[in-house]
Amino acid sequence: MHDKIITTNRSALRAKYGLVGFDAIRNAVNYLIAADARRGLRSRLVFLDDATTMKRHGGRAVTDATDPRQNKAAVDAICRKTNPEYLMILGAPDVVPHQDLRNPIATGDDPDRTVPGDLPYSCEAPYSRDVATFKGPTRVVGRLPDLTGGTEPSH
């Protein structure tokens, strides 16, 4: 078992930063995993778009990095299989998207029809755009974002 799962989309990171940038990010994540180990945390990196890994976790690989439904299903499969204490999403919403919840109070004063966020990733309920579906978080979720649209991986 792992205490912390770090999840991201390999293809999206490679497309965003190229192979050299991706390798720099991967090295930084490996350093983080080693630092966690020194603190007694067992951490593991899981790629949402890796078909073999996702099959081992009982899920399907993300084939469209921008699809909130696919990403939610992949995260759920990983969490069901590993039951981590912590889930870390690595990357901005152009790497792993926020979930696209309908805004229940969208009015003339607040014209935003959707509210993007990570709340659904913290819940076991399947994909939904209804925020009321996600009233009982059971996962500790954090996001370590890079810059949306960025091209320099040190951020």
Give the pLDDT confidence of 21-71 residue by residue, as tens digits.
Answer: 999 999 999 999 999 999 999 999 999 999 999 999 999 999 999 999 999
Here the tokens at position 140 are: 């500790």
CA 124 to chain centre: 14
**Amino acid, res. 1:** M
Q: Is pLDDT of 85 > 90?
A: yes
Q: pLDDT of 102-150, one tens digit each?
A: 988 777 777 788 889 999 999 999 999 999 999 989 999 999 999 999 9
